[in-house]
Amino acid sequence: MSSTHPTRRAATLCIHAGTHHDSATGGACSPIFPSTAYAFPHPTGANIYPRYFNTPNQRVIAGKLAALEQGGEALVFGSGMAAIATVLQTELRPGDHAVFQADLYGGTHHLVTRELARGGVEYSFVRGVEEFAAAIRPRTRLLYLESPSNPLLRCLDIAAVADIGRRHGVLTVIDNTFATPINQNPLALGIDVVIHSATKYLNGHSDLNAGVVVASAAWIQRLTEVATHLGGMLDAHACGQLERGLKTLALRVRQHNENAGRLARHLQQHPAVRCVIYPGLPEHPDHAVAARQMRGFGGMLSFELRAPSRIDRFLGQLRVVLPALSLGGVESLVCVPSRTSHRLMTPAERHEAGISDGLVRLSVGIEDIEDLIEDVDQALAADSP
């Protein structure tokens, strides 16, 4: 499928890996193949059908992500949650046990607590590498992590968790959405399965839902069988749109990294800000781990206002940064986790999780950094007591 040399660098792979070359026209872009009916018997022996995850445009995305994450194979889903649910369904049977990082993406947390138990699967939530090891039982089949996590951007030593999984013969799975394959390649650190919500940075334009799983060819074959039953695939037009987004992934992520780093250091100096949470800052508790395993620190940052009561004034004054859910697009977005992702927790549970009422999460976009700094400054000035 991919005509790209395996040792090419990420920015080149974003553009060229997986491309479906159209020999009839010599076009530079993959054509879009919308058919849901393909010849049978097919001259190649293949049985092509969108829900079999094997149409040309699905294969283009899979080829690109397998190359970028340095994996054997990839599978493209209709959403990040479809990817996550299908991974869990593939590996876990009634009576099995799985270990999840406690500060999971909200949708994944709900999937685990509401659906896994219904399937007779037991689970534990843990914090930190040692707790992953301590939580393993005879029926443990899966260790699941996110690094950096949402919204406190904690970074777990990925190679250490991968090592625990390998020693116990347990599959290790990471949600790599926040880092992107540009900043972090977990398979190279020993992780078995990498998941992305492609809705975020991979597509990067806040205009489609998609998900991706990358792993060894053998494991993706198992995943494909289950995925075919569950049916959470992506259609050809959305694949074409996602392919276009992916071509600029390396370029966008470089700018997200740079803008977030600049804004983090700026906010650190601001009198209205109590603290800034960004893995690229030496003050971040996991800075050393992040520096070891990431090539860039990403576009997500959080900060705490000194006066939480002024949070609505701050949000209302912003003119460039949009108060909105989701993340990873070219536009800067801001949200307040205590009112969004963590609103269903009790105040005590939020306190325990480190989510204060003054906590603000920024998905730093790729606008001009001077405009972002000016916008946040004037909104914070309105916010000053």
Closest to ligand PLP by CB, 335 vs 379, is 335
Whole-number Å distance between alpha carbons of 8 and 208: 28
Q: Nearer Cβ to ligand PLP, position 127 or 166?
A: 127
Our finding on whether 100 is near ligand PLP (CB under 6 A) is no
211 is an interface residue for ligand PLP by CB under 6 A? yes
Cα–Cα distance for residue pair 220/205, rounded to 1 Å: 27
User: In the set 200, 252, 256, 284, which binds ligand PLP (CB under 6 A)?
Assistant: 200
The answer to whether residue 197 forms part of the interface with ligand PLP (CB under 6 A) is: yes
Pick one of 86, 89, 147, 199: the residue that binds ligand PLP (CB under 6 A).
199
Q: Contact at 8 Å (CB) between 360 and 338?
A: no
- The count of residues interacting with ligand PLP (CB under 6 A) is 16
Ordered DSSP codes for 321-370: SEE-S---SSS-EEE-TTTTTTTTS-HHHHHHHT--TTEEEEE--SS-HH
Taking contact as CB under 6 A, which single stretch among the options 7-15, 103-111, 186-194, 341-349 is the one that binds ligand PLP? 103-111
Quote the CA–CA distance of 263 and 362 in Å, as a whole number: 10
Query: Does 177 interact with ligand PLP (rule: CB under 6 A)?
Result: yes
Q: How far is the CB of 178 from ligand PLP (least distance, A)?
A: 6
Among 80, 204, 261, 358, binds ligand PLP (CB under 6 A): 80
Query: Who's near 344: CB < 8 A, 6+ residues apart?
Result: none
Binding residue for ligand PLP, selected from 100, 105, 278, 303, defined by CB under 6 A: 105
Closest contact distance (angstroms) between CB of 158 and ligand PLP is 15
Among 57, 79, 140, 241, binds ligand PLP (CB under 6 A): 79
> Which contiguous run of DSSP H or E holds residue 101?
strand 97-101
Contact between 369 and 377 (Cβ < 8 Å): no
Cβ burial of 316 (10 Å; 0-12, 13-18, 19+) is exposed
Q: Is 301 strand, coil or helix? A: strand
81 belongs to the binding site for ligand PLP (CB under 6 A): yes
In the complex, the smallest distance separating the C-beta of residue 108 from ligand PLP, rounded to whole angstroms, is: 6
Q: Interface mask (CB under 6 A) for ligand PLP, residues 121-160, using x and -? A: -------------------------x---x----------
**Choice between 81 and 321, CB closer to ligand PLP:** 81
Nearest to 148 by CA among 286, 348, 10, 8: 286
| Environment class of 276 (CB within 10 Å of its CB; exposed 0-12, middle 13-18, buried 19+) | buried
**Residue 209 in the binding site for ligand PLP (CB under 6 A):** yes
Q: Tell me the closest approach of the beta carbon of residue 81 to ligand PLP, in angstroms.
A: 4
Residue selected from 175, 192, 243, 286 as contacting ligand PLP according to rule CB under 6 A: 175
Q: Look at residues 205, 181, 207, 200 and name the one whose alpha carbon lies nearest to residue 74.
A: 181
| DSSP-derived secondary structure letter, 187 | G
Stretch that binds ligand PLP, among 171-179, 181-189, 357-365, 372-380 (CB under 6 A): 171-179
Dihedral pair phi/psi, residue 12, rounded to 5°: -75, -40
Q: Which residues are marked as active site? A: 51, 105, 175, 200
> What's the Cα-to-Cα distance from 47 to each of 41, 103, 183, 219, 234, rounded to whole Å?
8, 41, 36, 20, 17
Nearest residue to ligand PLP on Cβ basis: 80
Q: Which residues here bind ligand PLP, judged by CB under 6 A? A: 79-81, 105, 107-108, 146, 150, 175, 177-178, 197, 199-200, 209, 211
